Amino acid sequence: VAIPQINLYFTNQVSESENYDEIGIRYNCIRLASNLDQDDLTRQISSYCMSESSLKFHIENDNSFQTFSFADLAKMNITSEDLYFWSTPIDITEEYQFYLQSNDSSLAKKIFYNCTLPRFGSMCQYEFCYYHENYSSLYEMIFSYYVDYLYDPTNLTCYTHLKCNRGYSPACLDWTEICDGKVDCLDGEYDEEHCWELEFNECKPNEYQCDNGLCVPNEFVEDDPMNFDCIDGSDEQLQTDYVSSEVYTIEPTFGYEDLMCKQISLTSSCLISRRLILMYSLFSIKDNNVSNECWSAYKCYFAIRTAEHPYITFNVINQECIPIIKDECPDMLYVPNIPVFFGHIYTAYKKNELSHPLRIEPPYLCSNKSFYDDSLSLVLETVLNNTMCFKVSRFTSWQTAGTPDFVQRFERSMNDIFRQIRQIHSITNFPLHRCNQSHLYQCRNSSKCILFRRLINGVTDCPYNDDENISEDTNPQLFAQVKHKYYKCHVTNKSIPQMALFNNDCDCESDEYDFCEDLDDYGNFTRRTISFQTICDGFQELYPIMIDGKNQTDETECEQWECDNMYTQCDKIWNCLDGKDEMNCDYSLPPLINCSSDYRMCVTLDTYKLT
């Protein structure tokens, strides 16, 4: 039966006069590999330590546990390996090994406490409160704790090294919101001020450039789909929009905690709990000219429960909330009452357009700054509180179903709008005079320009998607510069983006044998790859591909590749069609039937007998 092994680190005590506590020294640490339940490849070691020295506490001797001196252990032929597997602290194990090697008499009386689970430590002074005998490993104990006590904050963690006013409580700047491509501070562009410089960051030849401009080693790219090394998750095919909706914080790991989810309008944090706190808090700020009844009705419309509407159904929205909005509210108002997008864009609603409880109408976008170009097809509607409000023709209503839900009725529509606006939104403080440089691309019919590395990367950066749709026919000069980002289909001669390979869609198109070379399935794998033994064996395994104007297969130009060679002779496999590579072989065992040297043993197809 497997039992947990708990070896403490850093149990050697130091004098309290050294003030180690003040400089962050940790004591009595448990160390273990992180995220074993999810990761294919684990690189992170997590430490769980005491922040105060045990010298500050009075520890009484527990006489229920056996004690042995180092000298006693040596007489019993106990090894340091034995101590390690008995969950002895690493410091004591190393000291004992030193004693065995040096026979240092000063260590002979050093005491070893023979602890029994659930107790552990240098004097058996520690015990897990939630330990039970079914645990088979220390990792299982730690993981179970995080599952049973999920992180569910009621307050927000704030990044305090930048001045930033988010406009409402308890909202504050999160580290993921710095250089995430959108302004979050309402009192200035502090969180995006110098971030444009990352666009011009250059990586070394042995490094991969993340979407945000930072660099990671090439060997970290696509090495584990559930463990991200780029903080924007761009080094793995599994992007962070999935993470933001599926991953709940279990144990602290770099792969999930040091991660940005930039698909969300209000925050780039991947923590669902943070998103929900921010979303609900948006409605805590009300215009003084708007009545409480009106504001409560708008909350009800978006399925936020209040004292006035504790239970919300579509009937409640239709029969109670919408009528109150039409009776009590002004014709048009900001909802919420603070900017939602990029630090200056409000969303506003007209009450006469809210008529159907199952349909969420798109809001008007209001701002006193320019944030658009022709790609949005904006129609100026009105002026509200000194901001120009536009109707966006490409935005359509959202249908809802089931039980009214705030995320479905509000957050989903906001995120959809955010993703579309982001395509036209230029990088904050980007020096437009640099757009004419040779390594920058000017988006079609737009003032926005992007670096060449953002072309054909699977992310739409330009309003008309022209950065992801570069054709050799329409723009041969530009295509030649980004040709390395395309894959040339062998069958159809079509060029597809490298990002489209193995995406479960047949972008290269299938041939007459229903073979699609860019699909990642077993059948295609065997048609694309070949083992050494099957080259020039008389059977064609690989699909023909065009090389130097000629169709080439695994059976092409085999004149100099004899099937009977030093690698294939007498390997008990017929590599030649006539089996000559297996003639005159001594297999040490007598044959089932006797054949002359010029004949091979065969099986008849009609009787299945050896002949």
Structure-block tokens of residue 39: 């990761």
**What is the predicted pLDDT for the residue at 525?**
61
Q: Is the same domain home to 109 and 228?
A: no
594 versus 367: the higher-pLDDT residue is 367
Distance CA 510, CA 525 (A): 15
Q: Is the same domain home to 419 and 338?
A: yes
* 32-60: average pLDDT: 74
Residue whose entry in the numeric block shows the structure tokens 């014709």: 331
CA 449 from centroid of its chain's CA atoms: 27
Whether residue 452 lies inside any domain: the answer is no
pLDDT digits (tens, 9 = 90+) for 509-532: 877 667 787 776 655 666 666 777
Band (257; pLDDT cuts 50, 70, 90): confident
* 355-383: average pLDDT: 79
Q: Is the dihedral of CA 295, 300, 304, 305 positive or negative?
A: positive
Q: Is the same domain home to 313 and 395?
A: yes
Distance CA 333, CA 94 (A): 71
Distance CA 420, CA 438 (A): 27
DSSP string of 299-361? Answer: HHHTT---SS-SS--HHHIIIIIHHHHHHHS-SEEESSSS--BTTTBEEEEEGGG---TTEEP
Given a cut of 60, whether residue 602 has pLDDT beyond it is yes
Q: How many domains does the chain have?
A: 3
143 versus 101: the higher-pLDDT residue is 101
339 versus 573: the higher-pLDDT residue is 339
Domain encompassing residue 391? 283-424
CA 182 from centroid of its chain's CA atoms: 20
Nearest to 281 by CA among 406, 169, 412: 169
* 49-69: average pLDDT: 81
Q: Please give the C-alpha separations between residue 88 and each of 38, 78, 224, 546, in angstroms, as whole numbers.
A: 29, 13, 34, 64
Distance CA 210, CA 230 (A): 6
Judged by average pLDDT, the poorest of 65-79, 329-343, 358-372 is 358-372
Distance CA 454, CA 449 (A): 10
Band (15; pLDDT cuts 50, 70, 90): very low
Q: Is the same domain home to 297 and 267?
A: no
Q: Is the dihedral of CA 402, 405, 409, 412 positive or negative?
A: negative
* 176-196: average pLDDT: 92
**What is the predicted pLDDT for the residue at 297?**
95
Q: Is the dihedral of CA 49, 146, 31, 89 positive or negative?
A: positive
pLDDT digits (tens, 9 = 90+) for 424-478: 787 888 888 888 888 899 998 888 888 988 888 878 888 888 998 888 888 888 8
Contact 432, 449 (CB under 8 A): yes
Residue whose entry in the numeric block shows the structure tokens 């761009």: 234
Whether residue 376 lies inside any domain: the answer is yes
Phi, psi (degrees; rounded to nearest 5) at 496: -125, 150
Whether residue 24 lies inside any domain: the answer is yes
Given a cut of 50, whether residue 238 has pLDDT beyond it is yes
Whether residue 180 lies inside any domain: the answer is yes
Whether residue 16 lies inside any domain: the answer is yes
3-class DSSP assignment, residue 132 = coil
Q: Which of 274, 304, 324 is where one domain is finished?
A: 274
Residue whose entry in the numeric block shows the structure tokens 């490409």: 394
Given a cut of 70, whether residue 19 has pLDDT beyond it is no
Distance CA 234, CA 208 (A): 10
Given a cut of 60, whether residue 361 has pLDDT beyond it is yes
Band (249; pLDDT cuts 50, 70, 90): low
What's the helix, strand, coil split of the chain in %, to 5?
30, 15, 60
Band (245; pLDDT cuts 50, 70, 90): very low
Contact 386, 408 (CB under 8 A): no
**What is the predicted pLDDT for the residue at 192?**
93
Q: Is the same domain home to 365 and 251?
A: no
Structure-block tokens of residue 316: 């409640």
Given a cut of 90, whether residue 225 has pLDDT beyond it is no
Judged by average pLDDT, the poorest of 59-68, 160-169, 197-206, 326-335 is 59-68
567 versus 267: the higher-pLDDT residue is 267
Give a three-class secondary structure readout of 241-294. HHHHHHCCCCCCCHHHHCCECCCCCCCCECCHHHHHHHHHHHCCCCCCCCCHHH
Distance CA 180, CA 167 (A): 19
Q: Which of 211, 246, 274 is where one domain is finished?
A: 274
Distance CA 496, CA 486 (A): 5
Q: Is the same domain home to 83 and 125?
A: yes
Judged by average pLDDT, the poorest of 46-60, 234-248, 342-356, 458-472 is 234-248
Judged by average pLDDT, the poorest of 92-96, 293-297, 358-362 is 358-362
pLDDT digits (tens, 9 = 90+) for 105-159: 999 999 999 998 889 999 998 988 878 888 888 888 888 888 888 777 778 999 9
**What is the predicted pLDDT for the residue at 590?**
67
Nearest to 545 by CA among 491, 501, 509, 508: 491
* 13-21: average pLDDT: 51
Band (244; pLDDT cuts 50, 70, 90): very low
Whether residue 457 lies inside any domain: the answer is no
Q: Is the dihedral of CA 235, 210, 37, 151 positive or negative?
A: negative
Structure-block tokens of residue 305: 């429960």
Given a cut of 60, whether residue 47 has pLDDT beyond it is yes
Distance CA 157, CA 277 (A): 12
Whether residue 373 lies inside any domain: the answer is yes
Band (17; pLDDT cuts 50, 70, 90): very low
Give a three-class secondary structure readout of 481-525. HCHHHEEECCCCCCEEEHHHCCCCCCCCCCCCCCCCCCCCCHHHH
CA 453 from centroid of its chain's CA atoms: 21
**What is the predicted pLDDT for the residue at 246?**
43
Q: Is the same domain home to 261 and 298?
A: no
**What is the predicted pLDDT for the residue at 381?**
76
Q: Is the same domain home to 133 and 32?
A: yes
For the chain, the average pLDDT equals 83
**What is the predicted pLDDT for the residue at 554?**
85
Whether residue 542 lies inside any domain: the answer is no
Q: Is the same domain home to 188 and 300?
A: no
Given a cut of 80, whether residue 94 has pLDDT beyond it is yes
Structure-block tokens of residue 542: 């690989």
Q: Which of 396, 424, 452 is where one domain is finished?
A: 424
Strands 364-367 and 346-350: antiparallel
Tell whether omega for the bond before 339 is within 30 degrees of 0, i.e. cis: no
Judged by average pLDDT, the poorest of 80-84, 131-135, 503-507, 591-595 is 591-595
**What is the predicted pLDDT for the residue at 197?**
92
Nearest to 72 by CA among 44, 99, 32, 33: 99
Q: Is the same domain home to 219 and 191?
A: yes
Q: Is the same domain home to 223 and 288?
A: no
Cβ–Cβ contacts within 10 Å for residue 243, how many?
A: 20
pLDDT digits (tens, 9 = 90+) for 476-489: 888 888 888 888 88
**What is the predicted pLDDT for the residue at 23?**
46
Q: Is the same domain home to 253 and 289?
A: no
Distance CA 96, CA 74 (A): 9
**What is the predicted pLDDT for the residue at 97?**
96
